Amino acid sequence: MGARTIHPFPARMAPDIAIDHLDARESNTELIVLDPMCGSGTVLAAAADRGHAARGFDVDPLAVLMSSVATKPVDTEQVVAEAERVCARARASRVDGPRWDDAETLKFAEYWFAETQRSQLNRLSRELDDVSEDSVRQALQVALSRIIITKAPKASLAADTSHSRPHRVATESSYDVYRGFEGSVASIRKLLDQRSTVGQVEVSRGDARALDLPDSSVDLIITSPPYLNAIDYLRGHRMSLIWFGHTIPELRKIRSRSIGAERALDGDALKQVDDMVQYIKDSVDAPDQLPAATITRYAHDLVLFSRELDRVCKAGSEIVTVIGNSTLRGNYIQNDVLVRKAYEYSDFRVEARTERELPENRRYLPVRTINRESSMAKRMRTEVVLTVKKP
């Protein structure tokens, strides 16, 4: 079972990319496989399924949660038994006080969740907090999140939350959170029982620009970095995360750090950033429309990202990077060229570049503003798989 089936996740990496590159490795020895932006855990699950040791990091707490559940062993009978217990206690609970102290998170919950569902989520999530076994509690939290992060409204009043484009479509709801949770637990048990996790997996909160890993410790990296105008995952995920102890101000800080927190660069790196920004300006139709601060921050982050991967990679290691291209204020941005330049600045050697059609359900097209038959729309229906090697 792939991690992709555990929980909805927008624009996830196609599992066959990770599987094909792992299967192509000739070595029979265990590899240390890294995904520094692991998302829903697709790469980690594929690596563990093949007996490799996998390391995953993500700044998004929900991504870390779903990747952990998708790849780590858990007693599913205990998950079901604990679900029955916490549901019974939640149904009997008379707790009414909100679990947050700050007005902003309370206002957020009142907007996105009707009163009955807020009460049920409050009581159920508080009971989940008291589950002592980490793996069981995390599986139950993912089960709860699955009825919040949805395409059509379930526990929330929003549609398209699973695509990180939530918009409120109702002001009241008759949805029974307890029954929905019980059904979600039954579904997740079936998925977890189908897994094959031979290798050891470690998943942590972490920034791909500053990884908690030793120098020269990784054999293979498979990842998909963010790109200009990319999907804002936390926009939808915060609707679940507030029920797991997070607050809106805290999540805003995480989001701001993940989109270009400033870190000092030396002179050579600053020149590399300038060169990348100039490339973007030279390659687009309307450079005057580009937000200079945004593209400079993006180039800055790519330089930090490539330098950090150079630090953790062993000599001879490969990095397989899946990159989607994007539009920014009417300009088509070749993100794959920017990523390639960043790798080359860190002395990686390009081994291969392939372009593949995006499946319809993974496309991220601004359909209201772009004619699907236009040349720009057609270019945005593909993704690039770039393979580089450390000498």
The predicted-structure confidence for 255-306, as pLDDT tens digits, reads as follows 777 644 455 566 778 899 999 999 999 999 999 998 888 888 889 889 999 9
pLDDT band at 375 (very low <50, low <70, confident <90, very high): low
> What's the confidence (pLDDT) of residue 26?
67
> What's the confidence (pLDDT) of residue 4?
46
Lowest mean pLDDT among 13-22, 129-138, 368-377: 368-377
**Above pLDDT 90, what percent of the chain?**
68
Q: Mean pLDDT over all residues of the chain?
A: 89
In a domain, 356, yes or no: yes
The predicted-structure confidence for 46-105, as pLDDT tens digits, reads as follows 999 999 999 999 999 999 999 999 999 999 999 999 999 999 999 999 999 999 999 999
On whether the CB atoms of residues 330 and 286 are closer than 8 A, the answer is yes
Query: What's the rounded Cα separation, in Å, for the pair 188 and 253?
Result: 31
Specify the DSSP element, H or E, that contains 385.
strand 382-389
What is the per-residue DSSP string for 339-365? HHHHHHHTT-EEEEEEEEEPPGGG---
SS (H, E, C) 165-234: CCEECCCCCCCCHHHHHHHHHHHHHHHHHCCCCCCCEEEEECECCECCCCCCCEEEEEECCCCCCCCCHH
Question: How confident is the model over 181-204, as a mean pLDDT?
Answer: 94
On whether the CB atoms of residues 337 and 276 are closer than 8 A, the answer is no
- Going by C-alpha positions, the residue among 321, 341, 354, 343 that lies closest to residue 220 is 321
**Greatest C-alpha distance within the chain:** 64
In a domain, 129, yes or no: no
Both tokens of residue 363? 């496309």
The predicted-structure confidence for 312-371, as pLDDT tens digits, reads as follows 999 999 999 999 887 888 888 889 999 999 999 999 999 999 998 876 555 444 334 444
Cα angle, residue 47 at apex, residues 304 and 334 outer, rounded to 5°: 40
Q: Are strands 313-324 and 382-389 parallel, antiparallel or unpaired?
A: antiparallel
Domain count across the chain: 1
pLDDT of 3 above 60: no
Query: Under 8 Å CB-to-CB from 75, ≥6 apart: which residues?
Result: 135, 136
> What's the confidence (pLDDT) of residue 72?
92
> H helices within 130-176, ranges in order?
134-145
In a domain, 53, yes or no: no
> What's the confidence (pLDDT) of residue 1?
43
Question: Can you give the pTM of this predicted structure?
Answer: 0.90
Domain membership of residue 323 as a residue range: 264-391
Please report, to the nearest 10 degrees, the dihedral formed by the alpha carbons of residues 36, 42, 47, 49 taken in order: 150
pLDDT of 194 above 80: yes
93-111 burial: b if 16+ Cβ within 10 Å, else e: eeeeeebbeeeebbebbee
pLDDT of 10 above 80: no
